């Protein structure tokens, strides 16, 4: 088994707040390969992360599993404004 470790050349953080008695939804984080996309030459096989708001889908699932789910604050950072090749809000077409 091989392990791949990567880190950003530019430090970044995705801020969010956790409050007592509330749940916080910070988004759907999915790794996507960059091969076969226009990002392939830039990122190679490392891929990128798609950070998107799937709260409607995810919270419906969470409420089914946890009927007593407290109020949820949705805080999904729009990473597209950062101009970072490894962080996207959708997959390239």
For 1-35, write each residue's pLDDT tens digit: 666 666 667 777 888 899 999 999 999 998 877 66
Structure tokens given for 39 = 């990002």
Q: Taking the model in full, what pTM does it have?
A: 0.71
Residue 32 located in a structural domain: yes
| Cα dihedral 48, 52, 54, 59 sign | positive
* Chain-centre distance for alpha carbon 4: 19
Tell how strand 48-52 and strand 28-32 pair up: antiparallel
Residue 17 located in a structural domain: no
Number of domains in the chain: 1
The pLDDT assigned to 39 comes to 56
Domain limits at 68? 23-88
For 39-88, write each residue's pLDDT tens digit.
555 555 667 889 999 999 999 999 999 999 999 999 999 988 888 777 88
């Amino acid at each position: 088994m091989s392990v791949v470790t990567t880190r950003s050349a530019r430090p970044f953080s995705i801020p969010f707040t956790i409050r007592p008695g509330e749940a916080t939804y910070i988004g759907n984080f999915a790794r996507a390969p960059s091969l076969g996309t226009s990002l392939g030459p830039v990122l190679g096989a490392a891929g990128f992360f798609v950070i998107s708001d799937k709260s409607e889908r995810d919270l419906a699932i969470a409420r089914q599993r946890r009927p007593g789910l407290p109020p949820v604050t949705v805080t999904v950072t729009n990473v597209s404004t950062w101009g970072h090749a490894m962080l996207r809000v959708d997959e390239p077409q």
